[in-house]
Chains A and B, each alone.
Chain A
Amino acid sequence: MNIYRLVFIFMPVVIYMALIWAPPAAILGDASRILYFHVPVAWVSIVAFLVAGINSIILLVSEKNRREREFMAHNSAVAGMVFIILALITGSIWAKLSWGSYWNWDPRETSIVILMLIYIAYLSLYSSLKDNPNRGSISAVYLIIAMITMPFLVFIIPRIYPSLHPDTIINQERKIHLEAAMRITLFASIVTFTLLYGYIYRLMNRISALEIKAEEKHYDI
């Protein structure tokens, strides 16, 4: 019924796969296992922001269920914030292990910080619009703009500026270092963390729906 509940089974399995079953990588050794946590978390934050943007588009376009869409978009953006912070933390730990320093102002790292700033700005906007009846529409527009700048930041800029730093892990790791077992583990981990996000997102939405119902009931009774 609630497919996201599968995360309770998948996660322990993935933890085992990531830490024990998968072979250590060529150069980094066991430290490379952080890959199985860093990549999924970053991926989930992108998904969360996409979901927020799509909910915002639906909110603007269709007349029905406005209040639901409003909190759905907001909850997804909040979840995205949590995951992007985790991505930054795990990323800088990995940077320390691979390249010696916690932060390098590499184009990819910088782009993710900018993405995080955009969503912090969104949260400021949302909270400053507290008593405004148009909060849903206005914050929806901002989420759509944020969703549009996201591909520029995440996919295009790191491709345009490769020479600034010998990084962009995606090209290196995927082509050279990943064997079959590692690929399976990474894929499983991505799926599992997506399930985790789905679970949390659904839970947040249920709670928001209850909050709205509670307001209505006080009004009725």
Chain B
Amino acid sequence: MTSNPLMTLMTVVMIIWIGLALFLYRLDRRVSKIEEEMNEP
């Protein structure tokens, strides 16, 4: 894999980003759920 270190770096950064993105997205969904609950009564 070290034949193209840039490719390796990109894969690493992509993995980090996907992890962050999933986390953020999950937060987003949880907040939306709570907003719906709050607006009911």
Query: Measuring CB to CB, which residues of chain A are less than 8 angstroms from any residue of chain B?
Result: 8, 11-12, 15-16, 19-20, 30, 199-200, 203, 206-207, 210, 213-214, 217
Contact: A203 with B31, CB < 8 Å? yes
Shortest Cβ gap from B14 to chain A (Å): 6
With contacts A206-B31, A210-B31 taken as known, whether A20 is within 8 angstroms of B17 at the C-beta atoms is no
For B27, give the chain A residue with the smallest CB separation.
Answer: A203
For B25, give the chain A residue with the smallest CB separation.
Answer: A8
Contacts of A213 in B (CB 8 A): 38
Contact: A19 with B10, CB < 8 Å? yes
Contacts of A207 in B (CB 8 A): 31
Contacts of B38 in A (CB 8 A): 210, 213-214, 217
* A-contacting residues, B1-41, CB 8 Å: 6-7, 9-10, 13-14, 17-18, 21, 24-25, 27-28, 31, 34-35, 38
Contact: B17 with A15, CB < 8 Å? yes
Contact: A210 with B34, CB < 8 Å? yes
For B34, give the chain A residue with the smallest CB separation.
Answer: A210
Q: How far is the CA of A206 from the CA of B34 in the complex (A)?
A: 10
Contact: A15 with B13, CB < 8 Å? yes
Contact: B10 with A11, CB < 8 Å? no
Q: How far is the CA of A214 from the CA of B34 in the complex (A)?
A: 10
